[in-house]
Chain A
Amino acid sequence: MTTFLILAVLVLVAIAIWQMTKIFELSQIKAVNSQIANDTDNKYNGYLLFLFLIFIYGITIFSFWKYGKMLLPEAASAHGAEYDNLMLVSMAIIFFVQTITQALLHYFGYKYRGEQGKKALFYADNDKLEFIWTIIPVIVLAGLILWGLYTWTSIMDINDEDDPIVVELYAQQFNWTARYAGADNVLGDANVRMIDIDRANILGVDESDDYAKDDIIVKELHLPVGRKVNFKMRSQDVLHSAYMPHFRAQMNCVPGMITQFSFTPSITTADMRNKPEIIDKVKRTNTIRAEKAAAGVENSDPWEFDYILLCNKICGKSHYNMQMKIIVEEEEDYNKWLAEQQTFSQSMASVQ
């Protein structure tokens, strides 16, 4: 079916090209047969430039109308709100400039289309104009730079204030593991040289380190709402990137290095699921999934919204499916969940 559709499109396009060439040719019957644009060419292409401006506006409006709702929902982290504001203001500036400059460019293309005998204006320079359009970007960009840098510095200031939870995100081809620092809130030492697959020490945690004994290693990330989390990222093989789009958080995981990111989750998974925009998104998605299930496509069960951690740095064959679920919950639920998990020393003991 798809092949047929593609073929149909190809044929139609070929016909369209042939017809368009014909139209251009017919429009030039009177003119001398030359490959240099004449008044008729200028006229038609001038009009087309104007239409193209409308097309640019059209596709912008169309995309916002059709795809605007598919964008990420509001940020679920404390710094995310500031991020979204900065994004909104930057986008507003961009769309303002885009609308005006495209209008001028294409309108001039239409308005000043060439005609035989018309005289162009010899206008080579104007220092005042040059100054204006140098200084305006300077001022606007200075504002954006200052705001951006201020936000950046506060996001990237990773410290131990406000009693953060320390969590290690551990990346390998092609899955994620999380390690909580446990009761002492200090991660035990770890290195790939201490990995012992036979004894299930997959993260290479140092068994002789006292800090490591209460560490908790899990495959699903639970976070308490309103509590700062300091992430320490490691990778055992190639570069990966821990991308948590709903929290406006991302940091690469680099073999041989511990990288860091910190944020405070601000909306629980349950609350997020009840937001109207998420309810709508889930409904739309499940309609699609129901169609797929009816067509017999695998993995098309109905979906429930969850926060997610994705790999966002090319890492090999299954890069496209390297994920871990994130659950943000009330602190007591989190504590309850954490208490149910085995500590590192318990799991080591159970192996022996």
Chain B
Amino acid sequence: MSATAHAHIEDHADDHGHHHKETFVTKYIFSQDHKMIAKQYLITGVLFMGFIGIAMSLLFRMQLAWPGESFSVFEALLGKWAPGGVMDADIYLALVTIHGTIMVFFVLTAGLSGTFSNLLIPLQIGARDMASGFLNMVSYWLFFISCVVMLSSLFIEAGPAAAGWTIYPPLSALPMAQPGSGLGMTLWLVAMAIFIASSLLGSLNYIVTVINLRTKGMSMTRLPLTIWAFFVTAIIGVVSFPVLLSAALLLIMDRSFGTSFFLSDIFIQGEVLHYQGGSPVLYEHLFWFLGHPEVYIVLLPALGITSEVMSTNARKPIFGYRAMIASIIAIAFLSTIVWGHHMFISGMNPFLGSVFTFTTLLIAIPSAVKAFNYITTLWKGNLQLNPAMLFSIGLVSTFITGGLTGIILGDSTLDINVHDTYFVVAHFHLVMGISALYGVFAGIYHWFPKMFEGKMMNKNLGYVHFWITAICAYGVFFPMHFVGMAGVPRRYYENTAFPMFDELTDVQVLMTVFALIAGLAQLVFLGNFIYSMFYGKIGPKNPWKSNTLEWTTPQEHVHGNWPGAIPHVYRWAYDYSKTGEDGEYVIPGQDFIPQNVPLGDNEEEENH
């Protein structure tokens, strides 16, 4: 099969000269070129949706620090939901819900995978484009429609969905339970159904491309770890997203057609409803069957980006390449059988809880291996501390800090008292939120020249961005563990109803101040991005002296990526600082050997 695919590519290599005439619409809007689609995802998914998601978090952090206080910014942005500038309790829940939804799905799933899988898969495996450029375009535009539907729910009379990003029924199923469960929830479900379709089209495309379109010599064990991560991520997506679709469909049925999949024995607002025999616990199972793998759909691409960026900038091979692949696969497999750890106290059978504790703590093993391998990659390196490298080191730091508390939450016993408290919020923000965002930033700083025809982002603004973000991320989420251990539940509009939480207001203020500063630092990034996009200085063709194939393409984008034949691959992607027996670099004066350089005489391929 791959033989025919290669033959096809070779054919295509010959006819690169006669392109179809590109119009503005086919080049910038309905583009089928993976590089353009990657940029579309970056701008819609990461920059635009990310801006909205982060801005929402700043609003509700202000409410938490100064509960009931009047802010003109609330009045300006929330209008009737902030009468007199005081945030309403319903809109607080709506903000929390939409913040979670946007960040998890739109920014860190579609934005992250959409940008970097699209950009890097063809470039790094040596393909002219995705297996299906058309499906790729459809995938992006479905995502775009999904964004529009989700954002439109912010402007309706009763407000957007407000049942938490997990939208557990019956709260999400009954319009009389809260205003957000009316039209807002319908739009949420419609947006997510479209989103899932988009995600599946994208994932299938990534899988097929990686399997079929690798250039000659690019065996699976020569793939850069980025590609391994994107590939496995896509597989998890294909396995688990359809289950979320089924959950969403059944919920739509319960809401609109009177079925009782998730509902039973309900008395609300003075009347008994007809629902009988369903179970909200069933919904929780379906939701978390996606929901937990989703965490790794978010995290694995970030770890893949980190592997590549860290190795390149350390001028060293990634330590334990095969162990890294094995742990990606192990994490992916285990991630699909741990969902029950979100449900230890949901009322499901405690024995089932025991099983999930076991599988959950197992996942700590491949994660630990990855962390140790990153640290060893730094050891005795020649670290080029570019902004992307700093974000990669930052990722490992927050991944460890956040991952370790997973040992508490994954233990069914210990989960009893910290479940749904701020301890959980602190844990997952560090381990998947901040870590994945660092992965996104590392990727943007590193591949910006590839996306914008050689232009580079300003490094000093990058340093400022990193250091402020790094300090503030810990400043927000480290003290948050203490709030959780003091017993403060999440999704509370204010904690003033409980005098036992009074003294924790100080912590809330501290966290909010750090969050606001962190928010400002992202504006530095945004400014840097937009400025560099237009006026960035053109750097060298291979600015980070990297081995992977994308740097062999010309700076200006051409359809088909390489103007001539696709380069062949003769080695893995991590021959940094490789020396011969005489202790000199294999290529004199150059500490890296790109993948398309044939093995020299007397040079052995590493048995990595």
- Residues on A facing B (Cβ under 8 Å): 2-3, 6, 9-10, 13-14, 17, 20-21, 24-25, 28, 33-37, 41-42, 45-46, 48-49, 52, 55-56, 59-60, 63, 67-68, 70-72, 83, 86-87, 90-91, 93-94, 97-98, 101-102, 104-106, 108-109, 112-115, 118-126, 129-130, 133-134, 137-138, 141, 144-145, 148-149, 151-153, 155-156, 172-173, 191-193, 195, 197, 204, 236-239, 241, 243, 245-246, 248-252, 254-257, 259, 281, 284-285, 288-289, 299, 303, 305, 308, 310-321, 323
Are A123 and B319 in contact, CB atoms less than 8 angstroms apart?
yes
Q: What residues of A have a CB within 8 angstroms of the CB of B277 in the complex?
A: 256
Are A105 and B263 in contact, CB atoms less than 8 angstroms apart?
no
Are A137 and B368 in contact, CB atoms less than 8 angstroms apart?
yes
Q: Provide the bound-state CA to CA distance between A45 and B607, in Å.
A: 34
A94 to chain B, nearest CB (A): 4
Are A112 and B382 in contact, CB atoms less than 8 angstroms apart?
yes
Interface size class of B (residues with CB under 8 A): 35 or more
Q: Provide the bound-state CA to CA distance between A122 and B584, in Å.
A: 12
The answer to whether A148 and B463 touch (CB under 8 A), given A70-B482, A122-B577, A243-B489, is no
> CB within 8 A of B266: which of A124, A149, A255?
A255
The answer to whether A71 and B500 touch (CB under 8 A), given A120-B382, A141-B362, is no
Q: What residues of B have a CB within 8 angstroms of the CB of A83 in the complex?
A: 413-414, 416-417
A252 to chain B, nearest CB (A): 5
The answer to whether A86 and B414 touch (CB under 8 A), given A55-B474, A60-B478, is yes
> CB within 8 A of A70: which of B353, B503, B579?
B503
Q: What residues of B have a CB within 8 angstroms of the CB of A109 in the complex?
A: 378, 383, 385, 393
Instruction: Confirm or deny: B51 has a beta carbon within 8 angstroms of a beta carbon on chain A.
Output: no
Q: Provide the bound-state CA to CA distance between A41 and B458, in Å.
A: 13
Are A237 and B266 in contact, CB atoms less than 8 angstroms apart?
yes
Are B265 and A113 in contact, CB atoms less than 8 angstroms apart?
no
Instruction: Confirm or deny: B499 has a beta carbon within 8 angstroms of a beta carbon on chain A.
Output: yes
Are B507 and A133 in contact, CB atoms less than 8 angstroms apart?
no
The answer to whether A34 and B463 touch (CB under 8 A), given A3-B72, A70-B482, is no
Are B417 and A314 in contact, CB atoms less than 8 angstroms apart?
no
Closest to B404 in A: A94
SS class, residues of chain A in contact with chain B: helix
Are A319 and B396 in contact, CB atoms less than 8 angstroms apart?
no
Q: Provide the bound-state CA to CA distance between A320 and B404, in Å.
A: 29
Instruction: Confirm or deny: B412 has a beta carbon within 8 angstroms of a beta carbon on chain A.
Output: yes
Closest to B266 in A: A255
Are B347 and A192 in contact, CB atoms less than 8 angstroms apart?
no
A-contacting residues, B457-503, CB 8 Å: 457-461, 463-464, 467-468, 470-471, 474-475, 478-479, 481-483, 485-487, 489, 491-500, 502-503
Are B89 and A318 in contact, CB atoms less than 8 angstroms apart?
yes
Q: Provide the bound-state CA to CA distance between A21 and B524, in Å.
A: 11
> CB within 8 A of A255: which of B170, B401, B516?
B170
Are B461 and A123 in contact, CB atoms less than 8 angstroms apart?
no
Are A317 and B89 in contact, CB atoms less than 8 angstroms apart?
yes
Q: What residues of A have a CB within 8 angstroms of the CB of B457 in the complex?
A: 35
Closest to A154 in B: B413
Are B520 and A119 in contact, CB atoms less than 8 angstroms apart?
no
Instruction: Confirm or deny: B158 has a beta carbon within 8 angstroms of a beta carbon on chain A.
Output: no
Q: Provide the bound-state CA to CA distance between A249 and B487, in Å.
A: 11
